[in-house]
Amino acid sequence: MIFHAVFLLYLADVSEYDTIEKKQGGGFLKGQIRKALSGFYYVQSEGELYQTRARGNFRNRKITPLVGDEVVFESSNLTDGYLLEILPRKNELVRPAVANVDQGVIVTSMVEPNFSYNLLDRFLVTLEYTAIEPIIYLSKTDLIDDKEKIQEVINCYESIGYTVIASTEDERATKELERLFPNQLTVFMGQSGAGKSTLLNRIVPELDLETAAISESLGRGKHTTRHVELIPIADGLVADTPGFSSIDFLEIEARELSKQFPEFVEASTDCRFRECMHINEPQCAVKERVASGEIAQTRYDNYVQFLEEIEKRRPVYRKKK
């Protein structure tokens, strides 16, 4: 009742509705945006998929609907609907443009392109900051000769508490990943050419998602996924999204960064200073654990680099609303 009353107030400015009585009988629907393509938003509601457009006032209100959004819309048929309101989001990602994500699978190649602790940590920080559960999937493990390197990566991130799955030539790894899908909205992310579409094709062959070979001259893959779409897989929803090879920390403030490293958060309770930045402060428990090997040197080095990037970035000035 509260939702309906508030929503009627919103619709009071919509010219298509002449009276309150007409609004009450308008048959508003609730659903979830499953795909966004060429200005259309495809909304799943009560077993049907509706093609909709956003009302013009969305632009005036600087609202951009995202795949994954829970929405209110109205439609007289399956191909001619209009989005009326975006319901509150629990989180959102810019790249990929998805809202209300539960978990993110970071597909990380061991070779072609070569494994990068720095890039993996960038993805992990991004997911931690948006309260999305990270899952690390190591692809192309069959192409690397140094098997100890694979175990080194697994040990590093499992000790922090992350779920790490290493690819296998049989279906064991994909089945292990698939068991995490039910009742979750899952985003696949990772460097271009890491094998996201290939992995999804192995899980659901009928998808036949386009894949691209690695460019030998650039050492990275071409973007093959041109739009974001939620795909029903294993009683959950999975987004196959464009790959990208770099992440800029545009939203995270310097004092927030260490909170995106779970092992730093655990250790920081023993730091001398409550707001320890783990750089120059004396009696820093994080630095002590790095020295003892309890915290990986690669994680600390990446933290320092990310912190420098954040402190050197140009300030973003937002216009007052």
Q: Which residues are annotated as a binding site for Zn(2+)?
A: 271, 276, 278, 284
Report long-range pairs for 148-151 (Cβ below 8 Å, ≥24 apart).
Answer: 149/110, 149/115, 150/110
**100 with 67: CB under 8 angstroms?**
no
Q: Within 13 Å, how many C-alpha atoms sit on residue 123's CB side? A: 26
d(CA 269, CA 299): 18
Q: Which residues are annotated as a binding site?
A: 139-142, 190-198, 271, 276, 278, 284
d(CA 275, CA 293): 23
For helices 117-129 and 297-312, angle between their N-to-C axes, nearest 10 degrees: 70
Q: Which residues are annotated as a binding site for GTP?
A: 139-142, 190-198
Q: How distant, in Å, are the alpha carbons of 186, 238, 301 from that of 231?
A: 10, 5, 37
Which distant-in-sequence residues (6+ apart) come within 8 Å of 252 by Cβ?
125, 129, 260, 310
